[in-house]
């Protein structure tokens, strides 16, 4: 053990001398690994970032919330068959609310795209979401300011609204939106609350930050008719363990309301965030694998570069190897010297690459969510070490098995 | 005492599909504290014999015993250990590591011998002082003259206190005056009790030794004592 440590230490020092003696070459070779490690680390931070924001977004949808909808989120059924289904009407919602016993909260939602204005600030294509006061109970919303509209306001279809964080930020750059009156496609609405930032990159317009909430009656009255677009009923189970039961009950209730006979297919769907998760894992999983493969390829190219240089280096230093062997270097001493040399080059490259990746991901984070995992330091080190050993193995073996007589004669 | 005992060794190389008999049938013994010159024209097999003596190569046939151990059957690793501990090489072209300073060059065999830290530095420094280069220890080979380089190589050969010093044309790349100095150094090394084997093709260099073995066509032509050996005209003081 002691001998091994000694030999490794000496081989390390010898390798260090060699690395320092060939500075320019070392720098150029390292570049390949720098780029390789940087791209792998960058890819992993991007993937992690997207994952995180998706997790965040999906948790804001709630694992215990069911979405009773005309549409099925992920289905193989032809869309034109689904299109023929009847829209869910407000009357059905009211019946449903009365019949549902297991659910903790039931809230209808209906959306419309409108322009929202405050003084000279205006945002187009805002996702307007009409709902009831109970909606708050199906979500884990927290508020930046103010509150959600209450039961009286929602039943009376009062002209009040709650702004998503980004909408409030856009309309009221100086803050303090509560109490102000905004114009939604020409009509005045009083802001009663602003949501705290929910932060979700993946969900797009589903992102509550980009939405405006108002009593569902106002949507009917001014923006859209339930004949045109179906209502979605959000049903919250009392806990995640109850989700299956609530789903069962909801299907039963809806079949009863619709008067479906035994054997007839449901003409509605009960959707769950779980489906979204599965769908995400499928599509993004493929992208992730492709991403790692492509960036892994750049690392591989870097490794080939190192291997190439190591072969050249062994050839160039044939005489040196001969001298070392003549004065007593064993095969394994030569082997470890060259493997350590390539590992060292890779390690330096890996370290620089990691730093570049961290800096770049900070920059990229302005547009895309990235998340630097500090355990990826370890990943970067391990990857670059393995690359070094891999790249150094064949050249080092070639050096180790050189015949000392031949090597000494080499000019 | 018998350090080297060679009996009927032969070395056959295959070059392409042709076999070349570099050594046919060579037997010789070298004792402790001998000063032997091996002579022969190029192609005589003297280089092959030197590689054999230096444990850089093993014979195709025959027996080679180094201090009673059979070299013919040794593995690469065992040969490396013998070279490291028992043999000090001095080459015609010096064969120093160009990028390392004199001290590191001399340290190198000690590194492979597993000697550490302070002791290693001290022994290397002392060996350099012995060859008169105590003040040049941090010079790189290209900052030294030919004679100085050969002295560094000699210090490197001496530093492990080997059983034999094996010098292959040590003056071949030096002018005659410097060559003379190097020969004086070998004389001193011999007088300190070391066994020196000198491989050369120059008669006047061989005359510095006490015994000369002449090789021709892979066979020993003659093996005799030198009666009026040349004593060095210059004096070097080994400390």
CB neighbourhood size of A241 (10 A): 9
Q: A328 vs B112: CB contact, 8 Å cut-off? A: yes
Predicted confidence (pLDDT) per residue in A2-21, tens digit: 667 777 777 788 778 777 87
pLDDT surpasses 60 at A383? yes
A203: confidence class by pLDDT, cuts 50, 70, 90: low
Average pLDDT, chain A: 85
pLDDT surpasses 90 at B142? yes
Strand order in the sheet with B164-168: B87-90, B164-168, B195-200, B35-39, B211-216, B219-225
Cα separation of A213 and A37, whole Å?
A: 46
pLDDT surpasses 90 at B102? yes
Nearest CA in chain B to A2: B114
Q: A325 vs B80: CB contact, 8 Å cut-off? A: yes
Q: Which of residues 127-156 of B touch A (CB under 8 A)?
A: 156
Q: Does A408 lie at the interface with B, CB-CB under 8 angstroms?
A: yes
A23: confidence class by pLDDT, cuts 50, 70, 90: confident
Mean per-residue pLDDT, B161-188: 92
ipTM computed for the complex = 0.93
At residue B106, the pLDDT reads 96
Q: Which of residues 294-353 of A touch B (CB under 8 A)?
A: 319-320, 322-331, 333
Name every chain A residue with its beta carbon within 8 A of the beta carbon of B96: 323
Cα separation of A282 and A274, whole Å?
A: 12
Please return the burial class of B239, using the count of CB atoms within 10 Å of its CB with bins 0-12, 13-18 and 19+: exposed
At residue A1, the pLDDT reads 61
A348: distance to nearest CA of chain B, Å?
22
Cα separation of A163 and B222, whole Å?
A: 109
Average pLDDT, chain B: 91
Q: Which of residues 67-126 of B touch A (CB under 8 A)?
A: 76-77, 80-81, 83-85, 89, 91, 95-97, 99-100, 108-109, 111-114, 116
A368: distance to nearest CA of chain B, Å?
49
Residue among B83, B88, B84 at smallest CA distance from B167: B88
Please return the burial class of B110, using the count of CB atoms within 10 Å of its CB with bins 0-12, 13-18 and 19+: buried
Q: A327 vs B112: CB contact, 8 Å cut-off? A: yes
Predicted confidence (pLDDT) per residue in A305-359, tens digit: 889 888 988 998 899 999 999 999 999 889 988 998 888 888 888 889 989 988 8
Q: B111 vs A10: CB contact, 8 Å cut-off? A: yes
Residue among A188, A363, A380 at smallest CA distance from A302: A380
3-state class of B69 per DSSP?
strand
At residue A375, the pLDDT reads 74
At residue A86, the pLDDT reads 87
Which of A1-5, A22-26, A202-206, B71-75 is most confident?
A: B71-75
Cα separation of A183 and A187, whole Å?
A: 5
Q: Does A152 lie at the interface with B, CB-CB under 8 angstroms?
A: no
Which CATH code, of 3.90.1580.10, 3.40.50.300, 3.10.20.30, 3.40.50.150, is assigned to B2-225?
A: 3.40.50.300
Tokens representing residue A330 in the block: 């064993």
pLDDT surpasses 60 at A173? yes
Name every chain B residue with its beta carbon within 8 A of the beta carbon of A14: 111
Mean per-residue pLDDT, A171-197: 89
At residue B29, the pLDDT reads 94
Q: What does the domain layout of chain A look like in residue ranges? A: 2-57+278-409, 86-267
Distances B36 to A403, B57, B95, B164 between C-alpha atoms, Å: 27, 20, 22, 11
Cα separation of B106 and B154, whole Å?
A: 9
Q: Does A397 lie at the interface with B, CB-CB under 8 angstroms?
A: no
Cα separation of B129 and B159, whole Å?
A: 11
Cα separation of A65 and B236, whole Å?
A: 98
At residue B155, the pLDDT reads 95
pLDDT surpasses 90 at B140? yes
B127: distance to nearest CA of chain A, Å?
16
Name every chain A residue with its beta carbon within 8 A of the beta carbon of B95: 319, 322-323, 326, 408
At residue A205, the pLDDT reads 54
At residue B91, the pLDDT reads 93
Predicted confidence (pLDDT) per residue in A108-144, tens digit: 998 888 899 998 889 988 888 999 998 888 887 888 8
CB neighbourhood size of A9 (10 A): 12
Q: What does the domain layout of chain B look like in residue ranges? A: 2-225
pLDDT surpasses 80 at B105? yes
At residue A201, the pLDDT reads 54
Mean per-residue pLDDT, A217-246: 84
């Amino acid at each position: 053990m002691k001998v091994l440590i000694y030999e490794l230490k000496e081989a390390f020092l010898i390798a260090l001398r060699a690395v320092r003696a060939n500075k320019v070459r070392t720098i150029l070779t390292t570049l390949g690994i720098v780029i390789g490690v940087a791209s792998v680390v960058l890819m992993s931070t991007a993937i992690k970032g997207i994952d995180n924001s998706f997790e965040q977004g999906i948790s804001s949808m709630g694992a215990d919330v069911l979405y009773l909808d005309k549409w099925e989120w992920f289905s193989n059924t032809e869309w034109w068959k689904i299109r023929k289904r009847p829209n869910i009407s407000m009357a059905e919602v009211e019946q449903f609310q009365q019949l549902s016993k297991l659910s903790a909260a039931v809230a209808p939602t209906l959306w419309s795209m409108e322009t929202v204005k405050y003084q000279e600030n205006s945002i187009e294509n805002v996702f307007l979401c009409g709902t009831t006061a109970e909606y708050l109970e199906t979500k884990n919303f927290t508020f930046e300011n103010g509150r959600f509209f209450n039961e009286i306001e929602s039943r009376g279809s009062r002209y009040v609204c709650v702004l998503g964080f980004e909408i409030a930020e856009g309309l009221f750059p100086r803050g303090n939106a509560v109490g102000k009156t905004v114009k939604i496609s020409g009509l005045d609405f009083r802001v009663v609350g602003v949501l705290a930032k929910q932060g979700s990159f993946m969900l797009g317009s589903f992102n509550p930050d980009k939405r405006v909430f108002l009593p569902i009656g106002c949507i009917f009255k001014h923006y859209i008719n339930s004949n045109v677009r179906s209502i979605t009923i959000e049903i919250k189970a009392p806990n995640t363990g109850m989700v299956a039961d609530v789903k069962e009950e909801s299907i039963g209730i809806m079949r009863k309301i619709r008067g479906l006979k035994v054997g007839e297919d449901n003409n509605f769907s009960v959707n769950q965030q779980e489906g979204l998760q599965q769908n995400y894992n499928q599509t993004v999983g493929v992208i992730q694998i492709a991403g790692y493969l492509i960036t892994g390829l750049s690392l591989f190219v870097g490794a080939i570069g190192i291997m190439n240089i190591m072969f050249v280096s062994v050839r160039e230093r044939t005489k040196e190897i001969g001298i070392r062997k003549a004065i007593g270097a064993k095969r394994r001493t030569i082997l470890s010297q060259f493997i350590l040399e390539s590992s060292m080059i890779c390690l330096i490259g890996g370290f620089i690459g990691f730093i570049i990746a961290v800096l770049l991901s900070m920059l990229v984070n302005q547009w895309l969510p990235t998340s630097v995992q500090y355990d990826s330091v370890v990943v970067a080190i391990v990857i670059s070490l393995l690359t070094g050993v891999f790249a150094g193995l064949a050249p080092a073996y070639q050096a180790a098995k050189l015949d000392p007589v031949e090597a000494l004669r080499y000019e | 005492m018998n350090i080297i005992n060679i009996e009927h060794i032969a070395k056959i190389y295959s070059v392409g599909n042709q076999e070349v008999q570099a050594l046919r049938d060579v037997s010789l013994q070298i004792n402790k504290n001998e000063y032997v010159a091996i002579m022969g024209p190029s192609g005589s097999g003297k280089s092959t014999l030197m590689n054999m003596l230096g444990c850089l190569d093993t014979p195709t046939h025959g027996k080679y015993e180094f201090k009673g151990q059979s070299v013919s059957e040794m593995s690469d690793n065992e040969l490396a250990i013998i070279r490291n501990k028992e043999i000090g090489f001095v080459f015609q072209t010096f064969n120093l590591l160009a990028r390392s300073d004199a001290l590191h060059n001399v340290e190198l065999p000690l590194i492979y011998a597993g000697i550490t830290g302070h002791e290693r530095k001290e022994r290397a420094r002392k060996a350099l002082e012995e060859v008169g280069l105590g003040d040049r220890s941090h010079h790189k080979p290209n900052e030294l003259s030919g004679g100085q380089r050969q002295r560094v190589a000699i210090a490197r050969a001496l530093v492990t206190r080997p059983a034999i010093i094996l010098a292959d044309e040590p003056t071949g790349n030096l002018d005659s005056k410097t060559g003379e100095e190097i020969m004086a150094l070998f004389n001193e090394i011999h007088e300190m009790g070391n066994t020196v084997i000198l491989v050369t093709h120059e008669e006047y260099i061989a005359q510095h030794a006490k015994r000369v073995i002449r090789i021709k066509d892979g066979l020993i032509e003659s093996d005799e004592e030198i009666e009026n050996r040349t004593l060095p005209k210059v004096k070097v003081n080994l400390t």
